[in-house]
Structure 1
Amino acid sequence: MKKSILKSYLMWILAVIISVAGISVPAHAQTVGNIRGKVIDEQGGALPGASVKIKGTNKGVSSSTTGDFQLNDLQPGNYVVTVFYMGYSPVETNVELKAGQTLVQNIRLVASSVALKGVTVSGVIEGQQKALNQQRNADNIKQVISADLMGRFPDLNVAESLQRLPGVTIGREQGEGSTVQLRGTPGGYTNININGEQIMGTQELGQRNAQLDLIPANVLASMEVIKTLTPDLDGDAIAGAINLKTPTAISLKPQLSVDLGGGYNKLRNNSNGIGNISFGRRYGATDDMPNGKLGVTVSGSYYKTNNGYDEINAQAWQKKDFIGNKDSIYFPTDIRLVYLENERTRMGATTTIDYSFSPTTSIVANLTFNSLDNDATRYRKRTRMQTANTTFANGVYTTTRGRGYNEVLDRQMRNSNINFSLEGETMLSKVKLDGGIFLTASNFDQRAAAFNYITGNVPLTITDISGDYIQATGSTDAKNNAALYNYNTIEANDFKTQGRNVVARLNLTYPYKIGDNDAYFKMGAKVKRMSNKRFRPSSTFVANYSGPAGVGSLNNFKGNSELDADFLDNNINFGLNVDKDATIDFFYNNPSYFTQNADQKKISIDAYFYDAQENVVAGYLMNRIQFKRLMLLGGLRVERTDVDYDAKLVNQDKDGFLTSSVPVNSKYNYTKYLPNLQGKYDLAKNTVARGAVSFGYSRPNFNDLVPSRVVSILAQTLTDGNPDLKPAFATNYDLSIEQYLSNLGILSVGAFYKHIDKFQYNSVINLTGTEFPDAAAYKGYQYFKAYNGDLAKVFGVEVNAQTNLTFLPGILKGISLYANYTYTHSRADALGRTKLRLPGQADHTANGSVSYTLKGFTLQGNLNYNGAYTSTLGTDDATDVIRAARYQLDVNASYRITKKLTIYAEGVNLTNQPQVEYFGERSRIFTNTFYDFSARAGLKYRY
């Protein structure tokens, strides 16, 4: 039934489009013509974002990322085509257009000798030039990073490249940037697209936003951060969208680039290596298509490193009055030391083939594959002091019933993403039709087993519960005395997450005039089927050691007496660790010594499962009018979503035993109406003002919606789904002014305001046993659940400055500056609390970069700053989890030996800044993680 409804919607919209497209085609075919071509530089390279206009009229377009442009609906006659591109001398070309003709006219530009005043144009400036031209001519507010500009920074993946832009904050995984947040909103409020369509996230917790450490920056042509959505873009993105564009061949000359490098990671004293290659060329030039009918480009990237992290965390704090005067404090009941070593391998490849059947009809096919493998060994030590039996006297917290844990985790994670797209466009007289089909498939596969040794009751003490390096010690040396520990529990945490997005879209563009003003009307339809499935395979289990105590003693499985004396940046030592190989071999060679808990296995498998399907039908209408200096774009987008979720509702008794596992299904639908108005006004030749009023929404994460419960025994966490979650809905207001500088720079300031209703947030509390039926079985566990807040208001200001100091005398001309700063303020109501900061919103984010170029040598220093923000809401300010502010200093240098060969060196996180989270107050540590610095050096060859 659902499929037939979707089909009916699509067929109805297509019929309307086809009927409109057919109006007056025969008559117009005899009169109007088109001018198309490519804007290129002196070497034949594409110049994206060039302004191409018919002189004396308002008709104009911007060249695409491949440099292509097309001026449609022109009467026969003589025209002067003008092309403006910052950093190049303007060009005027005379053309004669005949009735019904599509005239192909490539336009070659020459670099301006004035713009840079004799400064050598480096890859840094070329990248800045392309990005600014695309940004200058866009209809909406966005930032663009070209491939050349990405190479300006020592960033290996997409997330790390994006962190350099205004309003962007990132989360880290294994020391690398991984997830992205825009303008102080949660990560799920930003769509991550490849070639215009959304990648489905496959994170363990069901987040919609894809992890971007999966995708190497080297296989892309450019990235766009779209901050105001137009009606022809998906509306389910309150913060905006990030669009990753794959490369397309641009020249009849073969273009080849090769990068090879190697380096060193300080924390684990191991090496890293990187290799990138790309090739592109066009073929089959004719008189009608002088740039060739066929284009082929292939890119590949490989990166391998041995890294890791050191961490201390105290993620369970309980309140108690220790001295009987009703002055309660929070006490850390579970302190953990974590030493992780990891082998990380990232691969990416993309192939694009485009073919032009005629000057007005073409197709483009792209296949992109990315994979990220992590093979990790984690050593973890825990000390637990239950608040109930801990006392305080003479400045010392003491318990006689403490516990020590010594664990080893063996984990393999395989994350992959494949994207296929087939797009095409054609002209039916003055009507342009474009569309395509898209498939993105993401998979995350984890195989992990944690092996745990535990003590009996041991005496433990803490003298200071504040600071970043708290420790529980005792007279028995529970940290290192192997005789106290016995084999206890094995938990196999295996799971798979699969995401799919299948899309078909069709657009129609109809140009016309309103008086002397050029305009176009655009309409389109899209259907997409999004799915996200998570499950545990049968290899999942929980097993308890039931063999002889002496055989299971840690004395028989000791690793190093001191795993790392320089642990946590030399602040404390790790001490004794478990021998991983001996521990695992013993388990597999002595199955009779271990008892698997069938109840816990079924609970773990059934509670983890969900299968979510969302079918979306969308249509839009929009109109764009270009007056002399003013552009207005307005329209309406309508999106209907049909939801179908399957899960299993697991029930347990007070002792944690399974009582029932019942399949559950949830079906519902909703429709969103999204009006949109954007304006752009040329205050002066190089000064642009923009404004927008738009509406958007963001769906809850998959895992947060399904009616399931996930319990981790070793981690002592419990996560509940919430099928009553609603999509957040926002009204967005944006305003910006941009001043483009003659020396290829920009000064801009922007402001935004978001009024968000029913925002989603994650809550974490420690269970007391009364929160829900059977909660007593999980007393003391951390309890995670997502809820809808009432209302959130987000206000922000973004300031951006890029400039090349060409006005300075002599060798100082080579100095370039890049800086941006974003201030964000929010107020949100949730959990009966008011005037909260929206989770994920940092007050301050900033970037600064200074580079110097002289005779082929470039040296650059980069500083990135992310302010503090709330990552998880508790019941009050004292129980919120706050991610502390963090800055990172990177440097890179290069020297161009010849026109084609460059050597480079890079250093990342030179000051070894940790990532810190705290519990309510900075003195109460939640997590403190060190990654240390890494360095690389290598060769780049360009042909």
Structure 2
Amino acid sequence: MTTRLKPLVLAIALSGAALVQADGQLEGRITDARGDTNYRGAVISIDELRRDVLAGPAGRFRVPQLPAGEYTLSVRMGNQLLEQRRIVITDNETLNADILLNSGSEVVEEVLVVGQAAQMQRAIDRQRFADNMINAINADAIGQLPDNNAAEALQRVPGVSIERDQGEGRFVRVRGISPDLNSVTVNGTQLPAPEAGTRAVALDVIPSDLIGSLVVTKTLTPDMDANAIGGSIEVESLSALDREGAFYTLRAEASYDEHTDQTSPAYALSGGNTVTFSNGQRLGVAGAFSYDQRQFGSDNVETGGKWDLDGTEALEEFEQRDYSIERERIGAALNFDYELDMNNRLYLRTLFSSFKDDEQRIANAVEFDDAQLSGATGPAEVIRELKDREETQEMQAFTLGGEHFIDAWTVEYAAGFSKSSEDESGGISGAGFTGDFTDMGFNGTRKPRLIAPAAFFDPANYDLDEVEYTEGLTEDEQTSVNLDITRDFFAGNYPALVKFGGKMTRREKTQDISEYVFDTFGGAATTLDNFSGGKLDYELGDFGNDIRPDSVYALINGLDKAAALDEEASRVGDYQIDESIDAAYVMGRVDINDLRILGGFRYEQTDLELTGTGLDSTGNLVASNARNDYDHLLPSLHIRYALSDSTLLRAAWSNAVVRPTFEQMSPSFTNDGLEAELGNPALKALEAANFDLSIEHYTGTAGLLSASLFYKDIKNFVYVTDLAGSPEWAGYDEVITYRNGDDATLSGIELAFSQKLSMLPAPFDGLLVSANATVSQSDASISTYDGGTLIKRDIDLPSQSDVTGNLIIGYEKNGFMLRLAANYKSDYLLEVSDVADERGDIHQASHTQLDLSSAYALTNKLKLTFDISNLTDEPYYAYQHQEKYNAQYEEYGPTYRFGISYTGF
């Protein structure tokens, strides 16, 4: 018997041991007088047994393994009792107890179905009754998040912060862990990453109109993929079974970017229908389509960490950058649910997202002959550079599965396919015009402003040096099949279950790029005045004229493209990595009065095949292939104890494993005998042992007060280092590669509070408050060779902020909704530039952003919205060593959005 099959065989053996046939079970559906079944997340309780379950899609609920007898059945949302009745459970029979609610109740209609409080309450209930530690964000009844994309919504979760690109939220960090060490799934299918070297998924490509809810899991159970050290993020899309009959929402929006004075449109349509057939079977079809086009820009000044800090504050070089950007997002989803009966359901979930990023960057790169102090002037070379490229990222995901209840057994299965790609069909990656000038300098170290003579601004003083042109296609494709089997039983007098299953995943990541360098121009006029446009509007000082991309394209289109191919760079940039993961798990759960215990283990076997190209010291291109195989046994234990009806204590020990990124593992390399740059296919996977302890107290509507302690022991974290001077690379000047570090640790505390202040007198009873803060610290050790000597030093984990926090003050009453949201993260280590010298480290400065959302319901179907993002015009700022030394400063300005939506149901 192979090693990888043993856990699954053990699980099957355990499932048949000591199982006692249940006496009976309860099932039903919650609806209201209008036929609405949008009561997912309602709490169904058997009061005498202290058994609680949450209603699922379409308001369905099921309580297995109930001893015969008479009980009190209660239905609550947010501690509000919606229904209570007596029921009788009979031996070996299933009781159907459909629940019809009175939709005329103002409390149910306004608080529990739509609005901020409803979103918060459903998320809190989901967290409260989960086996493990999660946080959730629910869209309202018509499938809308209060933020513009998934990333920006998730920044409101305790312990979660985001990385922004041009002011827009893109990547998500959980508890300070790099986005590469988190996983993202859509309807249970993992999303691969479109970018070439990374595993991180940019969540700004998923429009909010496609999302039903977002769940961040911080402590993994054995039935979950183990590839999340920070957290696992699940995106759940719309389901038609959450309503009865047809429903739809139309939305139109216009946004205004203050920085560029550009106005952009957005449109969305979502809806669905549920049909009940004469035999009682139900078919639900839900779909969504969204289109968003945004024109905006930013002004930037950056040094890239080129300060000479050996006793001076001199600067070697800096750049001014002006960005003009147009981003277009298209999203679509089409979901099918087929309910054969209460115990059998089939589903198909689909998602498509296209993100087109058209970026034009004009830069002045000033390189001083000698490092200069602020206010001084001297000779410098200036490169006026154009970058003009259009990248299209696409994501698609399909999940086909089913769920079946067979007496005390539950059988679930799913097949998933997902694919991401990034296509750069051809663009100018750099067109550089060079000039030499005297009397060049700068003023200020935090936001350097250019000092330049009049000759600097004359385009006739610049000559075209070369044009770099790039074509590239990156694809990341994944298929998976999983089977999960659950058996409910009694362990003595205590309800319990055993669950076991397996998953097979196959992933292929490929990169294919072509690099072209044009450096001879056949006598064409190549001074900048032949390519120059009008004066640029740049708010961080004097800049000069634009560069017209069409003029540069016209020049190179008339040249021999084949002769310009840089074959070495193109071949070395290509690779293919095949990753196979086979997993099996077993876990058990038992409820002993107020105590719930869940434990088990997961086994994962990983096989990697890596193919690339290297450039050796003789200048020859050679095939570079590698394999790497490893396996992991990952135990976990989760404990939940009810101190009272409203207070829970949780403890968890879980283990996770994350494979290195594709860039880090790439077998491609360059080696000219003095300098080398290479990936490391032999890298070990990152492993983390996670310990969590929390207490949660629930109060009233949308009420929660919680505190959570966490500690992570991380092995084999990966960092960039220089191995020149080591025994293997003696005689080299520079050898840049990746290596596994020693153990790293991360610890902290998360605090959260939320409450709807309905106890206040009118009109203040519409207020609600939500706040959270996370305080953490980390420690890691890295090493490099300096002059043949091994040097080590301690650092914080990159991307880990010591403090993150959110404050939301909301108001909703009489159809009016207002939300002011503040997000804060303290500074953090962004990049280790020189392992041997901490003065080269780049840090991102602390960042506070305010966003305002408002809405007014003209009728119960027609709503107006007005939002302001980045209300206080917070810039992005990164620095070298100390905050006064600029690495990058960028301004975006606020964005204003006005919209109107109409909902029919």
Q: Say yes or no: does 1:107 pair with 2:99.
A: yes
Aligned counterpart for 2:574 among listed residues 609, 621, 632: 609
Name the SS of the counterpart of 1:536 in structure 2.
Answer: strand
Residues 248-267 of structure 1 correspond to what in structure 2 (within 5 A)?
248-249=239-240, 250-267=242-259
Shift, 1:378, TM fit: 1.7
- Do the aligned residues in 2 keep the contact of 1:335 with 1:383 (CA within 8 Å)? yes
Shift, 1:428, TM fit: 3.4
Name the SS of the counterpart of 2:546 in structure 1.
Answer: coil
Q: Which residue in 2 is equivalent to 1:618?
A: 583
Residues 701-716 of structure 1 correspond to what in structure 2 (within 5 A)?
701-709=661-669
Q: Say yes or no: does 1:627 pair with 2:609.
A: no
Aligned counterpart for 1:841 among listed residues 787, 797, 800: 800
Provide the rounded CA distance (Å) in 2 between the counterparts of 1:311 and 1:103. Answer: 66
Residue type matched to 2:350 in 1? L
Bigger mean CA deviation after superposition, 725-734 or 447-456 = 447-456
Q: 1:460 to 1:785 in 2, by over 3 A?
A: farther
After superposition, give the CA deviation of every residue in 1:198-233 in whole Å (9 maximum; x if it has no partner). 2111223x1111111110121111000111111110
Q: Which residue in 2 is equivalent to 1:385?
A: 368
After superposition, give the CA deviation of every residue in 1:644-693 in whole Å (9 maximum; x if it has no partner). 1111112367xxxxx11111111121111111011111111111111101
Q: Which residue in 2 is equivalent to 1:858?
A: 817
Q: Which residue in 2 is equivalent to 1:348?
A: 331
Shift, 1:336, TM fit: 1.3
Residues 597-746 of structure 1 correspond to what in structure 2 (within 5 A)?
597-598=564-565, 601-651=566-616, 659-709=619-669, 720-746=678-704
Aligned counterpart for 1:563 among listed residues 526, 536, 548: 536
Q: Say yes or no: does 1:69 pair with 2:61.
A: yes
Provide the rounded CA distance (Å) in 2 between the counterparts of 1:795 and 1:22. Answer: 40
Q: Which residue in 2 is equivalent to 1:937?
A: 898
Q: Which residue in 2 is equivalent to 1:871?
A: 830
Residues 262-277 of structure 1 correspond to what in structure 2 (within 5 A)?
262-277=254-269
Residue type matched to 2:292 in 1? Y
Name the SS of the counterpart of 2:225 in structure 1.
Answer: coil
After superposition, give the CA deviation of every residue in 1:839-894 in whole Å (9 maximum; x if it has no partner). 11001111111122332222221111121111111323211110111111111221
Residue type matched to 2:257 in 1? N
- Do the aligned residues in 1 keep the contact of 2:372 with 2:441 (CA within 8 Å)? no
Provide the rounded CA distance (Å) in 2 between the counterparts of 1:847 and 1:864. Answer: 5
After superposition, give the CA deviation of every residue in 1:107-156 in whole Å (9 maximum; x if it has no partner). 24458989899989851112112111111111111111011299887521
Q: Which residue in 1 is equivalent to 2:216?
A: 225
Unaligned runs of 5+ residues in structure 2 are: 784-790
- Do the aligned residues in 1 keep the contact of 2:308 with 2:316 (CA within 8 Å)? no
Aligned counterpart for 1:208 among listed residues 199, 221, 225: 199
Provide the rounded CA distance (Å) in 2 between the counterparts of 1:794 and 1:111. Answer: 48
Shift, 1:37, TM fit: 2.4
Name the SS of the counterpart of 1:466 in structure 2.
Answer: coil
Provide the rounded CA distance (Å) in 1 between the counterparts of 2:18 and 2:655. Answer: 35
Q: Which residue in 2 is equivalent to 1:579?
A: 548
Aligned counterpart for 1:823 among listed residues 760, 775, 781: 775
Residue type matched to 2:700 in 1? S
Q: 1:301 to 1:899 in 2, by over 3 A?
A: same
Over the aligned positions, Cα root-mean-square deviation in angstroms equals 3.2
Q: Which residue in 2 is equivalent to 1:337?
A: 320
**Share of identical aligned residues, percent?**
27
Provide the rounded CA distance (Å) in 2 between the counterparts of 1:498 and 1:225. Answer: 26
Q: Say yes or no: does 1:37 pair with 2:28.
A: yes
Shift, 1:761, TM fit: 3.0
Q: Which residue in 1 is equivalent to 2:350?
A: 367
Q: Which residue in 2 is equivalent to 1:911?
A: 872
Shift, 1:177, TM fit: 0.6
Provide the rounded CA distance (Å) in 2 between the counterparts of 1:252 and 1:621. Answer: 37
- Do the aligned residues in 2 keep the contact of 1:147 with 1:220 (CA within 8 Å)? yes
Q: 1:115 to 1:739 in 2, by over 3 A?
A: farther
After superposition, give the CA deviation of every residue in 1:20-67 in whole Å (9 maximum; x if it has no partner). 889999x97xx8654322334565242233332334325443222543
Provide the rounded CA distance (Å) in 2 between the counterparts of 1:554 and 1:773. Answer: 45
Residue type matched to 1:878 in 2? R
After superposition, give the CA deviation of every residue in 1:718-760 in whole Å (9 maximum; x if it has no partner). 9642223221111111111111111322111111111111212
Name the SS of the counterpart of 2:163 in structure 1.
Answer: strand
Bigger mean CA deviation after superposition, 501-510 or 443-452 = 443-452
Residue type matched to 1:913 in 2? E
After superposition, give the CA deviation of every residue in 1:51-101 in whole Å (9 maximum; x if it has no partner). 323343254432225432222244666654333321532433444566665
Name the SS of the counterpart of 1:295 in structure 2.
Answer: strand
Q: Say yes or no: does 1:462 pair with 2:441.
A: yes
Residue type matched to 1:541 in 2? Y
Residues 782-801 of structure 1 correspond to what in structure 2 (within 5 A)?
785-801=737-753
- Do the aligned residues in 2 keep the contact of 1:226 with 1:240 (CA within 8 Å)? yes
Provide the rounded CA distance (Å) in 2 between the counterparts of 1:854 and 1:90. Answer: 21
- Do the aligned residues in 2 keep the contact of 1:154 with 1:906 (CA within 8 Å)? no
Provide the rounded CA distance (Å) in 1 between the counterparts of 2:101 and 2:178. Answer: 43
Residues 466-545 of structure 1 correspond to what in structure 2 (within 5 A)?
466-471=445-450, 473-475=451-453, 477-478=455-456, 480-537=457-514, 540-545=515-520
Name the SS of the counterpart of 1:838 in structure 2.
Answer: coil
- Do the aligned residues in 2 keep the contact of 1:116 with 1:806 (CA within 8 Å)? no
Q: Say yes or no: does 1:310 pair with 2:299.
A: yes
- Do the aligned residues in 2 keep the contact of 1:857 with 1:894 (CA within 8 Å)? yes
Name the SS of the counterpart of 2:327 in structure 1.
Answer: strand
Q: 1:764 to 1:225 in 2, by over 3 A?
A: farther
Residue type matched to 2:743 in 1? L
Provide the rounded CA distance (Å) in 1 between the counterparts of 2:812 and 2:409. Answer: 48
- Do the aligned residues in 1 keep the contact of 2:700 with 2:755 (CA within 8 Å)? no
Residues 735-814 of structure 1 correspond to what in structure 2 (within 5 A)?
735-762=693-720, 785-814=737-766
Bigger mean CA deviation after superposition, 55-64 or 274-283 = 55-64
Q: Which residue in 2 is equivalent to 1:185?
A: 177
Shift, 1:416, TM fit: 0.7
Q: 1:467 to 1:748 in 2, by over 3 A?
A: same
Shift, 1:622, TM fit: 0.6
Q: Which residue in 1 is equivalent to 2:787?
A: none
Q: TM-score, normalised by structure 2?
A: 0.92
Q: 1:649 to 1:453 in 2, by over 3 A?
A: closer
Q: Say yes or no: does 1:887 pair with 2:839.
A: no
Q: Say yes or no: does 1:196 pair with 2:188.
A: yes
Provide the rounded CA distance (Å) in 1 between the counterparts of 2:465 and 2:865. Answer: 51
- Do the aligned residues in 1 keep the contact of 2:688 with 2:713 (CA within 8 Å)? yes
Name the SS of the counterpart of 1:490 in structure 2.
Answer: strand
Q: Which residue in 2 is equivalent to 1:46?
A: 38
After superposition, give the CA deviation of every residue in 1:454-509 in whole Å (9 maximum; x if it has no partner). 334432532546221243x444632x121221122111122211111211111111
Q: Which residue in 2 is equivalent to 1:88?
A: 80
Provide the rounded CA distance (Å) in 2 between the counterparts of 1:120 and 1:627. Answer: 31
Unaligned runs of 5+ residues in structure 1 are: 321-326, 654-658, 712-716
- Do the aligned residues in 2 keep the contact of 1:87 with 1:744 (CA within 8 Å)? no
Q: Which residue in 2 is equivalent to 1:714?
A: none
Q: TM-score, normalised by structure 1?
A: 0.88
Aligned counterpart for 2:115 among listed residues 123, 137, 144: 123
Q: 1:854 to 1:334 in 2, by over 3 A?
A: same
- Do the aligned residues in 2 keep the contact of 1:175 with 1:308 (CA within 8 Å)? no
Shift, 1:253, TM fit: 2.7
Q: 1:482 to 1:150 in 2, by over 3 A?
A: farther
Residue type matched to 1:215 in 2? I
Q: 1:416 to 1:784 in 2, by over 3 A?
A: farther
After superposition, give the CA deviation of every residue in 1:164-204 in whole Å (9 maximum; x if it has no partner). 11111111123211101100111111111111232111223
